[in-house]
Amino acid sequence: MNKRRIIIVSIAILVVVLGAMPLGCIGVGNKVAVISLNGSIQAEGSSLLFGGGTITPQLVRGQLDRAKGDEAVKAVVLHVESPGGSVAACQEIVSEIKQLRKPMVVSMGTLVASGGYFISAKADKIVALPGTLTGSIGVISEIPNVKGLFKKLGIEMEIFKGGKYKDMYAGVRELTPEERELMQKMTDQIYDQFVRVVAEGRGLSEEKVRSLATGQLYTGEQAKELGLVDEIGGLQAAIDLAAKLAGIEKPQVEYYKPEIPSLFSFLLGMSWEKLQSFIQMRSLGAEGIILLETLSNPYPRPEYR
């Protein structure tokens, strides 16, 4: 066998051997994806014109789909910083998280409260800093009453309704005792949903979670003692833990950056009605903005915050 044939055969054998080896053995496919979730949790993102970060189901879905579609990604770290937000948005995000078939670790920042904790509870592990403020497990429902503001502005409202309770959410009068009871029952049910998610995610009894779900905040150290987080540490500790859960060494860390729309694309995506509302709001004072917000959102907004 001449020298050239020996080289060709050797290369062929090497290709076959490498093809049969697990990716982890050759340092390929050992990614840990880091996804940053920063801001309040809402169904839709806040505008660039008003500022402020927002965590939306669409944002989380897009980032998780990216991690799902990349076979080299073996684990995911969610770096969360959030005071909470919309109940429905939180529940939709948890639904997306449950569909990820890869190890997930949450790394908590300065504040991960209420809805922020809600979306973290289903992770495989939670890592918090000693001074992280977390917990605040509970729900709050609000119906603004702008009757006094109407009177101050000289506005009188005439209500025509079909349905006994149809105007209870309009914010133009005080609730009756019966309506307050209805609101409390609805709030209690949403609170129970929060308790169940935490109990399932953390492997705790519902009774134990209810004793912790007073709405109060805990430091990272307190949360670890109570079973609400697993380890004390920062983002690197969370990355190391995610790699360990995935069974990989020396992971390649990839930081996902959310796509931020330009001002032009934001305005282009607005309907004419929304653009008119925005222009009106920018020209109103504080009282006018409160009034317009109440009239635009007449229903109660239960939130995990």
3-state helix, strand, coil in the chain (%, to 5): 45, 20, 35
**Amino acid at the residue 282:** R
Q: Is the pLDDT of residue 26 over 50?
A: no
**Which of 139, 63, 127, 136 lies closest to 97 in space, CA to CA?**
63
Marked catalytic residue, from 82, 86, 107, 114: 114
Q: Could you give all domains of the chain from N- to C-terminal order, each with its CATH number?
A: 27-304 (3.90.226.10)
Q: Is the pLDDT of residue 30 over 80?
A: yes
Q: Is the pLDDT of residue 22 over 50?
A: no
- What's residue 179's pLDDT? 92
Q: Is the pLDDT of residue 249 over 70?
A: yes
Q: How far apart are CA 111 and CA 128, in angstroms?
A: 10
SS3 state of residue 104: strand
The runs of H, that is alpha helices, within the chain are: 3-20, 57-69, 87-98, 115-118, 147-153, 177-202, 206-212, 220-226, 235-246, 263-269, 272-283, 286-296
Read off the pTM: 0.79
Q: Is the pLDDT of residue 124 over 70?
A: yes
Q: How many CB atoms lie within 10 A of CB 281?
A: 15
Q: What is the pLDDT of residues 61-79, one digit of tens each?
A: 999 999 999 999 999 999 9
Question: How large is the average pLDDT for residues 185-206?
Answer: 97
Mean pLDDT of the chain: 83
Q: What would the two tokens of residue 210 be? A: 């209810």
* 114 annotated active-site: yes
For residues 129 and 103, the answer to whether their CB atoms sit within 8 Å is no
Q: Is the pLDDT of residue 275 over 70?
A: no
State how far the alpha carbon of 111 is from the alpha carbons of 107, 140, 211, in Å: 11, 18, 21
What percentage of the chain reaches a pLDDT higher than 70?
A: 74
Marked catalytic residue, from 98, 161, 166, 274: 166
- What's residue 172's pLDDT? 76
Q: What would the two tokens of residue 47 be? A: 């505008």
Q: How far apart are CA 224 and CA 236, in angstroms?
A: 18
Q: What is the pLDDT of residues 81-123, one digit of tens each?
A: 999 999 999 999 999 999 999 999 999 999 999 999 999 999 9
Evaluated on CA atoms 218, 219, 221, 227, the torsion sign reads positive
| Strand partners for 40 | 54
Question: How large is the average pLDDT for residues 11-24?
Answer: 50
- What's residue 48's pLDDT? 41
For residues 102 and 132, the answer to whether their CB atoms sit within 8 Å is no
Question: How large is the average pLDDT for residues 260-273?
Answer: 51
Question: How large is the average pLDDT for residues 280-297?
Answer: 57
